[in-house]
Amino acid sequence: MDPREHKNKLKKIVYKYKKEFFIFIDEMNKLGKNSKCQVSDVAALDCYVCTNQTGNVEKCLNTLRTCEPGEDVCGTEIRWGSLPYFSQGALKQYYVSKRCMTKQQCQAKRKRHMPYCTHIWYEDWSCHECCQGDRCNYFIISGGEKLSAMPTVTLTAVLATLLTVVRNFLH
Residue 144 located in a structural domain: no
126: pLDDT confidence band, cut at 50, 70 and 90? very high
Torsion of CA 102, 15, 63, 78, to 10 degrees: -10
Q: Are residues 62 and 104 in the same domain?
A: yes
Count of all residues that appear for the chain in the document: 171
How far is it, in rounded angstroms, from Cα 160 to Cα 80? 9
According to DSSP, the residues that pair with 76 across neighbouring strands are: 98, 129
- Give the pLDDT band (50/70/90) at residue 79: very high
Residues 85 and 122 in one domain: yes
* pLDDT reported for residue 72: 96
Nearest alpha-carbon partner for 8 in 35, 37, 31 = 37
Instruction: Decide if pLDDT at 81 tops 50.
Output: yes
Q: Domain limits at 113?
A: 46-131
Task: Convert the pLDDT of each residue in 82-122 to its tens digit.
Answer: 766 656 667 889 999 999 999 999 999 999 999 999 999 88
Q: Please say whether the beta carbons of 104 and 74 come within 8 A.
A: no
Let me know whether 7 and 68 are in one domain. no
Residue 32: its pLDDT value, please?
57
150 found inside a domain = no
3-class state of residue 55 by DSSP? coil
Q: Is the pLDDT of residue 164 over 90?
A: no
User: How much is the pLDDT for 150?
Assistant: 34
Q: At 76, is the secondary structure helix, strand, or coil?
A: strand
Separation CA 27–CA 115 (nearest Å): 46
Q: Are residues 96 and 127 in the same domain?
A: yes
How many domains does the chain contain in total? 2
Q: Model confidence over 13-60: pLDDT tens digits?
A: 655 555 454 445 555 555 555 545 444 445 689 999 999 999 999 999
For residue 60, report the phi and psi dihedrals to the nearest 5 degrees.
-70, -20
* Residues 54 and 25 reside in one and the same domain: no
Are 72 and 102 a contacting pair, CB within 8 Å? yes
